[in-house]
Structure 1
Amino acid sequence: MNCKTTLLKLTPLVVACSLAVTGCSSTKVQRVDANQEVALSDKWNGKDSQLVAEAMINDMLSFPWVNDHLQKEGSRPAIIIQSVRNKSHQHIAVDTFLNDLKRSILRSGQADFVANKDVRREIRDERKDQELNASLETQNEMGQEQGADYALSGTINSFVDQQGGDRVTFYQVDLRLIDMTTNREVWNGQKKIQKLQERSRFGF
């Protein structure tokens, strides 16, 4: 009987403690500036993509090939991005990184950007449709596309070093720019990121 009485007395206390713990662990969501870095882990994130793209394009446009092209052709160079392969240990949204590269190229005002195969195919279909349905004054002619002068491609690699509860993740992005006419490599760039994730000493 005493045991039952004690259990009945403890039950409300257990329930109250459970509710308190649940309340403490509730999820809170808030909006933050998209340009603000929010690093919850050592994984590659949107801020890494943006910073790496800006740094590498700035470096690329500082090399002699830009002025050499301007002096020879009298116009800004046109660049096409072929592919950037993700060879790292984790899933990386490569399309986001490619878009960051494109934005950095266009924002610089020093080079033009040529659309990739899929986009060009869609635009060509649109021009064919214009030939049938648009007025002569508003049609865009076939065969007037701008070809790329240079092709940009590269890789994303990573490796992880871990000891105890601490982990260091190292990312390396390598890009190269190739002259489409001569196959000369006019620029080769590399950007490294190192991230340290430390486990709480209190085990939380």
Structure 2
Amino acid sequence: MKIATKRLLPALGLACLLPLGLLAGCSATEVTRVGADEEIALSDRWNATDSRLVAEEMITDMLSFPWASEFEMDHSRKPTVIIQSITNKSHEHIAIDTFINDIKRSVIRSGKADFVASGDERLDIREERREQELNSRDPVAQGQEKAADFVMTGTINSIVDQVDKKRVTFYQVDLKLVDMTSNIEVWNGQKKIQKVQDKASFGL
């Protein structure tokens, strides 16, 4: 009985310590709410702050060119823009839809141009109109869509250079705006971002 008791006590002690260890591990997790515009750079990867700042700076540059004011003088209305494509050619996954929405918000906020819905969005809107014609007492008239006056295209590229424990990631965003009637390129913008990260291992 004495031998059994000696063996049982360490086992009971270990059993008591395990729940305490689990509780300590759970209590170590802490979540802090921060503003959506506040940058939290956990790595050198493209993030939401990059998307927003690049969109704002490039659209500010785009609207400083004379194409918008000249169009409004000639047509007595604001120009309409459509984004044809922005291609991610970088080494990592980038949420292009988020970047496109940041661009749209910057343009619309300026009040100097309007956006036309993209191809997929137009199909959804047309389907909704058809539903309204069948079911609504006051349907929206068909055939009144505005065509785009200017089309935007672009790319996001990246270069990664690493030596020992230091890594430099370079991003380059190129956007251009083309007049749909004349095919003239009325604006060509470029934004570069360079990030440096020091770490023992990166895990690309």
TM-score range, shorter chain: 0.7 to 0.9
**Higher mean Cα deviation, 25-34 or 183-192?**
25-34
The two structures, once aligned, show a CA RMSD in angstroms of 2.3
Match of 1:108 in 2: 110
Mapped to 1, the partners of 2:31 and 2:131 lie a distance apart of 47
Match of 1:97 in 2: 99
Displacement of 1:30 in angstroms is 1.3
Structure 2: gaps spanning 5 or more residues: 1-9
Mapped to 2, the partners of 1:27 and 1:40 lie a distance apart of 17
Match of 2:84 in 1: 82
2:159 aligned with 1:176: no
Query: Percent same amino acid at aligned positions?
Result: 59
Residue 40 of structure 2 aligns to which amino acid in structure 1?
A: V
Secondary structure, aligned partner of 1:95: helix
Mapped to 2, the partners of 1:159 and 1:27 lie a distance apart of 35
Match of 2:74 in 1: 72
Runs of 4+ in 1 over 6 A off after TM superposition: none
**Higher mean Cα deviation, 122-131 or 107-116?**
122-131
User: CA offsets per residue over residues 77-117 of structure 1, 9 Å max, x none?
Assistant: 00001110000000001110011011111111000010111
Match of 1:48 in 2: 50
Q: For 1:1-20, list aligned pairs within 5 A.
A: none
Q: TM-score, normalised by structure 2?
A: 0.84
- For residue 129 of structure 1, the aligned residue among 131, 151, 156 is 131
Mapped to 1, the partners of 2:84 and 2:29 lie a distance apart of 42
Displacement of 1:71 in angstroms is 1.2
User: CA offsets per residue over residues 135-154 of structure 1, 9 Å max, x none?
Assistant: 2xx22111111110000110
Mapped to 1, the partners of 2:51 and 2:135 lie a distance apart of 42
Displacement of 1:199 in angstroms is 2.5
User: CA offsets per residue over residues 124-180 of structure 1, 9 Å max, x none?
Assistant: 111112222222xx2211111111000011000000111110111000000000101
Mapped to 1, the partners of 2:34 and 2:198 lie a distance apart of 24
Q: For 1:132-171, list aligned pairs within 5 A.
A: 132-135=134-137, 138-171=138-171
Structure 1: gaps spanning 5 or more residues: 1-7
Q: For 1:182-201, list aligned pairs within 5 A.
A: 182-199=182-199
Q: TM-score, normalised by structure 1?
A: 0.84
